[in-house]
Amino acid sequence: MERGEYGTPEKRRRRRCLIVTVVAVLLLIVIIAIVLGLTLRKNTDTFTSTFTARCEKFEGYDCEKVWGAFEEAYVGRDPCKVPPGAYDPFIAAAPLKPACNRMMFWSKTKDVVHDFTEKKDCFITVEDTLMGNVVDGLTWCGKEGSTETFTTGCPGWTDCENNTVRSFWNRVSTAFADAACGDVSAMLNGSIDTPFHPKSIFASIEMKRFHPSTVKSLNVVLVTQKSTVTNCTNASLKDLQKELAEGIKYSCKEVAETQIQECGSNPDIACGACW
C-alpha cells in the first residue's frame, strides 16, 4: 500500500469525527422519535382515561361501548372531514334520559349556567349529560393512517366546517334539542349586543329542533350585569320569537348574574324562585 492511499492522519481523524457525528445525530433522531411517541401515547392514554372516568360517573351505560362508538367517528380520518353524522353511533350508545321541564340551553353564558347547575339540581345542560360531559373542555382528533387519538395539532373550531370537535358539539346539541320537552329554559347573555346570535348553536341548531308537540314553552333567562347593554326588548330576541315554532309559548326575564349566583348557593331557595 502506497503511503497516503487512505489519506493523511489528519484526514483519517476528520473522517472518524464525521462518522461519530453522523452516528450521534442518528441516535438523537431516534431518541426524539421515541420521546414523541411516548408523549403522544401518554396524551392518548390521558384522554381515554379522562373520558372513561367521566363516563363511569353516570349509571346504566356501557362505557367501553360508549368509548368505542366515540372513537369510531374520527380515528384514522382527516380531522377536517368528520361530519356530525359520524357521531351517530356514539349518540346511540349514550342515549339521553328523559328530563322534561329541566332542560337548560345556553349561549355565551357557559360559566354562569354551569356554576348554577353544579350547585343546584334544578336544570341540566347538554354538558351535564353523559354525551356532553365526557369531553367537555377537551380537544381531540384523528389522523389519516393512524389509530391514535391526538390532543394537539387538531384544527380549531373555525379552521374547517367539519372538524372533529365542532361536528361533535353540533351533533350532541341536535340530540339534546330533539329530546326537549315540557317547559324549556335558555340562559342568554344580556351584556352583548346580540344575545340571540343567528350563528350560535342555540339559534342555528337547537331552537330549530323545538317542536310544539313536545315543547310547551321557552323561557329565556337574560343574564344581566352592571355592563348590561341589552334587555328583553332586544331586536335579536324579537327575531327569536318570530323563529320559534308556532304553538310554543315564549317568555323572557332579565335576571342579575349576582342573583343567579346567590340562588345557586342557597339550598333554601326553591328552583322556581331563582327568577
pLDDT higher than 70, residue 1: no
Instruction: Report residue 27's pLDDT band, with 50, 70 and 90 as the boundaries.
Output: low
Tens digit of each residue's pLDDT (9 = 90 or more) over 55-67: 999 999 999 999 9
The CA distance from 18 to 20, in Å, is 5
CB 215 within 8 A of CB 248: yes
Cα-based angle 196, 198, 199 (whole degrees, multiple of 5): 115
Q: Is the pLDDT of residue 40 over 60?
A: no
Q: Is the pLDDT reported for residue 168 higher than 60?
A: yes
Fold of 13-94+136-166: ADP Ribosyl Cyclase; Chain A, domain 1 (1.20.82)
Enumerate the domain spans of the chain.
13-94+136-166, 99-128+180-266
SS3 for 209?
helix
Rounded to whole angstroms, the Cα distance separating 104 from 38 reads 41
- Considering the four listed CATH numbers 3.40.50.720, 3.10.50.40, 1.10.3720.10, 3.30.70.980, the one that applies to the domain covering 99-128+180-266 is 3.40.50.720
What pTM value is reported for the model? 0.82
CB 117 within 8 A of CB 136: no
pLDDT in tens, 174-198: 999 999 999 999 999 999 999 999 9
Q: What is the pLDDT of residues 76-129, one digit of tens each?
A: 999 999 999 999 999 999 999 889 999 999 999 999 999 999 999 899 999 999
